[in-house]
């Protein structure tokens, strides 16, 4: 397959971007990409491509890498539309949680759901993600809290047949009702069973959920099973970014309340700052200080935080929020949604359009890339290619 006549081919060549480099998209005007099997074999100007094959004329559209959504809660049953009104009335997420709502409603429904039901829900979500240009996601468990349901959730992530690749994460999300010393239970009973089904462990490190000390215990034990740590931190309080750096976590996500000290430490570390602007949008709370993080040199990734409290599958919408609310440029948001997000998942073979990398490519029906973020509320994707195969054509799942 040869994709030709792209008005702009955004290769994002060159790996993880920080600071000013986030604005460098490595654009080829009138670009083309040659694909053989699952791999990219040639990248350049349309007139210079030497490989032959079936030609896909991009007709002046924009070609970019597939979006990588590096923070999703894919597996659950029990949406929470009834709580939407409570949020409108000004109730905080923690207030809703304390009243038995929030996560506990979804936990109950997820525990009762069959694997068939959970997979059916997930496939519908993945279809929407794919149509909006997402080709790889991080997929968490975390709505079971008990051993049986967490294992069930992780098995669902592995068993689903779908073009969107899933990177599995065991999420230690909350303390079940009526349970004491849950951290010990996680360490002694949950991790040994969950670890073979996951690549990462994630902990919701927050006041009223898991303390710094409890988080340390879980992360240290998870490492003995080969799990790499990610953390939910600084959504409602601060100090978590510093902990994520201390524990050498792959990512620290949320970061709405990260301090200047936390930003500085992130910038001096290898920990990726995972920004999830959809969550403060829904909760009507403060957004993370993305500009300060970028200017400090911290590595930034963007993600949907898809979950029953933040129900969006669209990375295009997240890019719009990043531009409008986080004051990120379109180029910075694109870097954060592709190559940087891939880096946070340990997937160097995706996130950019380079020879030898996996052919995960999207064609956007826009004249130039700056329409991303600017033109919101619609789906700008025309074509999605996953591992060299067309899986969305003219905006429709094939």
| Residues 6+ away with beta carbon under 8 Å from 246 | none
Q: Could you give the CA distance from residue 340 to residue 89 in angstroms, rounded to a whole number?
A: 37
Cα–Cα distance measured from residue 13 to residue 383, given in angstroms and rounded to the nearest whole number: 21
Count the residues in the chain.
398
- Say how far apart CA 373 and CA 16 lie, in whole Å: 21
What contacts 24+ positions apart, CB below 8 Å, involve 229-232? 229/200, 229/201, 229/202, 229/203, 230/169, 230/200, 230/201, 230/202, 230/274, 231/202, 231/203, 231/205, 232/202, 232/203, 232/204, 232/205, 232/206
In this prediction, residue 91 carries a pLDDT of: 84
219 and 116 assigned to the same domain: yes
Which residue from 295, 351, 352 is spatially nearest to 326, judged by alpha carbons?
Answer: 295
- 3-state SS of 285-338? CCCCCHHHHHHHCCCEEECCCEECCECCCCHHHHHHHHHHCCCCCHHHHHHHHC
Please answer whether residues 240 and 206 qualify as being in contact, where contact means their C-beta atoms are separated by less than 8 angstroms. yes
389 with 315, same domain? no
**How high is the pLDDT of residue 87?**
82
Same-domain status, 59 and 186:
no
Helix/strand/coil for 380: coil
Residues 36, 147, single domain; the answer is: no
Indicate if 128 and 239 belong to the same structural domain: yes
Alpha carbons 122 and 166: distance in angstroms, whole number: 11
Show the low-confidence residues of the chain (pLDDT under 70). 100
Three-class secondary structure of residue 256 per DSSP: coil
DSSP class of residue 189? I
Residue 235's CATH number: 3.20.20.140
Domain identity same for 260 and 391: no
Residues 202 and 53 in one domain: no
Domain harbouring 62, CATH code: 2.30.40.10
Give the model's pLDDT for residue 84.
86
Q: How many CB atoms lie within 10 A of CB 36?
A: 13
**Count of structural domains within the chain:** 2
Predicted pLDDT of residue 149: 99
The parent domain of residue 172 ranges over 68-344
Among 300, 325, 344, give the residue marking a domain's end: 344
pLDDT score for 101: 77
Same domain, 141 and 248: yes
- Do 117 and 193 reside in the same domain of the chain? yes
3-class SS string, 48-63: HCCCCCCEEECCCCEE
Q: Are residues 378 and 310 in the same domain?
A: no
Same domain flag for 30 and 96? no
Residue 94 is predicted with a pLDDT of 76
Are 227 and 374 part of one and the same domain?
no
Q: Are 190 and 150 in contact (CB under 8 A)?
A: yes
């Amino acid at each position: 397959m040869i994709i030709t006549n792209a008005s702009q081919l955004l290769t994002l060549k060159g790996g993880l971007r920080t600071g000013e480099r986030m604005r460098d998209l490595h654009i080829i005007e009138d670009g083309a990409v040659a694909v053989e099997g699952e791999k990219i074999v040639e990248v350049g100007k349309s007139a210079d491509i030497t490989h032959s094959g079936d030609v896909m004329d991009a007709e002046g559209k924009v070609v970019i890498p597939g979006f990588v959504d590096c923070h999703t809660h894919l597996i659950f049953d029990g949406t929470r539309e009834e709580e939407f009104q409570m949020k409108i009335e000004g109730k905080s997420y923690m207030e809703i949680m304390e009243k038995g709502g929030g996560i506990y409603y979804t936990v109950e429904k997820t525990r009762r759901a069959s694997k068939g039901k959970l997979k059916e829900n997930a496939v519908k979500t993945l279809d929407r993600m794919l149509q909006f240009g997402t080709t790889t996601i991080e997929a968490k468990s975390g709505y079971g809290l008990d051993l049986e349901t967490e294992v069930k959730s992780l098995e669902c992530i592995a068993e689903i047949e779908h073009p969107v690749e899933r990177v599995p994460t065991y999420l230690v999300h909350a303390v079940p009702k009526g349970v004491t010393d849950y951290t010990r239970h996680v360490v002694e009973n949950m991790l040994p069973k969950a670890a073979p089904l996951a690549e990462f462990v994630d902990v919701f490190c927050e006041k009223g959920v898991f303390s710094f000390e409890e988080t340390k215990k879980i992360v240290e034990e998870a490492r003995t099973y080969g799990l790499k740590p990610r953390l939910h931190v600084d959504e409602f309080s601060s100090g978590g970014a510093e902990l994520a750096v201390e524990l050498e976590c792959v990512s620290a996500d949320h970061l709405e309340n990260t301090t200047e000290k936390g930003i500085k430490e992130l910038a001096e570390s290898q920990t990726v700052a995972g920004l999830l602007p959809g969550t403060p949008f829904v909760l009507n709370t403060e957004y993370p200080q993305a500009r300060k993080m970028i200017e400090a040199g911290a590595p930034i990734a963007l993600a949907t935080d898809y979950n029953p409290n933040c129900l969006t599958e669209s990375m295009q919408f997240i890019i719009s929020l990043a531009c409008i609310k986080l004051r990120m440029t379109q180029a910075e948001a694109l870097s954060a949604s592709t190559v940087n997000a891939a880096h946070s998942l340990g997937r160097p073979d995706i996130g950019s359009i380079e020879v030898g990398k996996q052919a995960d490519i999207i064609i956007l029906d826009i004249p130039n890339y700056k329409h991303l973020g600017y033109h919101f509320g619609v789906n700008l994707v025309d074509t999605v290619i996953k591992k060299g195969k067309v899986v969305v054509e003219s905006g429709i799942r094939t």
